Structure 1
Amino acid sequence: MTSLIAVFAVFSRNIRTAIRYPLGLANTVLFTPLYQMVLPTLLLGAAFLVNGNASGLEQTAGTDDLPGWLMLGMAVSAWIIGVITTVAVDLQSGRATGTLEIQWTGGVRPTVLTFGSALAGFALTTLASLLLLVLAVFLLGARFRLEGLPVALLISLVMLVAVTGIALALAALILLIRRGDAVLDILGYVIAIFSGIAFPVVVLPGPLFAFSLVWPTTWGLDLLRHALIDSRTIFPEPTMWTFFLLESALAFIVGMFLFSRAVRVIRRHGTISQF
């Protein structure tokens, strides 16, 4: 019960903080994804349409719904980067203000507190992603299947587990190397890109294709697209679900282990609040 209260407290704190700065929130979760990823990718894809049809996408992914395909990729990208950033910012601000050590002596495990940060990041980026998907339908002509919504909701919940695990693993890196902002940004975007947010991963050469399959977000995004726009999955659907669930669980377990190990290391060395 105490852990749930702590998770809710951290979650509500992050939501309240975001609401206090609406322009910053809109820039982070909406405008930045739009001008950095959505619009350039969409315009580049539109430049290669053949008679108005995305024939290349149809051959590789089994759908010609370019706006819907790309917008779902952007939604998953927002989840990955949003959760990682929220967790990292909470840790870094806590160290900078000297409050992190106080939080960690309150009787609640640091991992539990980090769950609240991850959940807040996921909730905020989900709202922004839903807005982007609505805009895609009314302005770009995306065609989403309403009957796929229950499956999409299940995929989203499993994706929360996956990206939380990834965020915990990268948070461990932040705790150990401290000034790791640049590394965090690079790794977040690498994971998003190789999850197939802007291109079908099947076009990658062998080693890079294998690297993309390491990430549970690759499997989840492919299943999400299959559920909502009826695109073709990389492998048969049972195989996709098996690897998605297994890799998501593994990412969460590994992330928890690495984060807990990093917490023990910095406590032992007395560097919780040091830079």
Structure 2
Amino acid sequence: MGTEKYFEYYILGIAYWNYVEAVWSSIFALRYYMRTGQLEDTLLTPLTPLEYILGWSLLGIAVTTITSLPLVALAVIMGVIGAMVSGVAVSVVVFLLSITASFGLAYLIFGLTLVIREGDEVVSLIGNMAPLIGGLYFPITLLPGPLRYLSYVFPFTWGVDVLRALLTGSRPIFGVREELLILFVLTLLYLMLGVLSYKFLERTMRRKGIQGF
């Protein structure tokens, strides 16, 4: 595992995943509009789908911050916040990259749900699988080979690993600099793929008249 501070290791993972989940919750909001037949009206308003997802994500982040105060208090008691002071700048950068990458991934998944009628099940499957293979509960180095390689495609795998290395002194998978570079590349990739795929799929669905379009 590379750390003797498993409790801090686990708390940090939980807090981090709460923010990722807050961004992903925007998908379920849009899926709700699809099920109730309100998606078309929603997309015809002055706000773009990108602005809707961004707004819901920011609201989720604000709510998560408030509900995470007990975890912050626990971290202060355990001295995690004190360890954070020395690496606060890098930690903030990692957090922002992680949220941006998760936002792009959420946008990509929502675009795919426009052509998959069982979109809720797909999102739930990814959401339930991601924390298990993304290093939330234990290091991904303990995963079997195929699952470990799959975990590499998730941006939060690298985000939480870097944060843990900075704040708890755990051993990173590769190295902090290397993982920061990987996280940056994945952030750009998912943001670009998310926007492009959604625009393509939206045009396709409007033309075919499927899923409320």
TM-score by length of 2: 0.88
1:208 and 2:121 are equivalent in the alignment: no
CA distance in 1, matches of 2:145, 2:197: 29
Selected match of 1:143 from 45, 65, 80: 80
1:101 and 2:34 are equivalent in the alignment: no
CA distance in 2, matches of 1:260, 1:129: 34
CA distance in 1, matches of 2:61, 2:102: 9
CA distance in 1, matches of 2:51, 2:186: 21
Selected match of 2:106 from 142, 146, 167: 167
Q: Which residue of 1 aligns with 2:13?
A: 73
CA distance in 1, matches of 2:31, 2:200: 18
CA distance in 2, matches of 1:123, 1:167: 18
Q: 1:179-211 CA distances to partner (integer Å, 9 max, x unpaired)? A: 422221111121222210000111223222211
Q: Percent of aligned pairs with the same residue?
A: 31
Letter of the 1:183 counterpart = V
Change (3 A) 1:204 1:142: farther
Higher relative contact order (CA 8 A, sep 6+): 2
Letter of the 2:152 counterpart = L
Structure 1 segment 121-270 matched on structure 2, within 5 A: 121-138=60-77, 141=78, 143-144=80-81, 145-147=83-85, 148-270=87-209
Q: Which residue of 2 aligns with 1:111?
A: 50
Letter of the 1:65 counterpart = K
CA distance in 1, matches of 2:121, 2:76: 35
Letter of the 2:175 counterpart = P
Change (3 A) 1:213 1:130: farther
* Bigger Cα Rg: 1
On the 8 A contact 1:80/1:192 being kept in 2, the answer is no
CA distance in 2, matches of 1:106, 1:79: 28
CA distance in 1, matches of 2:100, 2:84: 24
Gaps of 5+ in 1: 1-59
Instruction: Give, in angstroms, the shift of residue 130 of structure 1.
Output: 4.2
CA distance in 2, matches of 1:123, 1:259: 25
Q: Which residue of 1 aligns with 2:22?
A: 82
Indicate the larger mover: 264-273 or 63-72. 264-273
- What secondary structure sits across from 1:176 in the alignment? coil
Change (3 A) 1:231 1:205: same
Letter of the 1:250 counterpart = L
- What secondary structure sits across from 2:29 in the alignment? helix
Indicate the larger mover: 66-75 or 259-268. 259-268
Change (3 A) 1:121 1:174: farther
CA distance in 1, matches of 2:184, 2:109: 20
Letter of the 2:193 counterpart = V
CA distance in 2, matches of 1:81, 1:192: 10
On the 8 A contact 2:134/2:154 being kept in 1, the answer is yes
Letter of the 1:143 counterpart = V
| Number of positions where the alignment pairs a residue of Structure 1 with one of Structure 2 | 211
Gaps of 5+ in 2: none
CA distance in 2, matches of 1:181, 1:97: 14
On the 8 A contact 2:31/2:120 being kept in 1, the answer is no
- What secondary structure sits across from 2:210 in the alignment? coil
- What secondary structure sits across from 1:245 in the alignment? helix
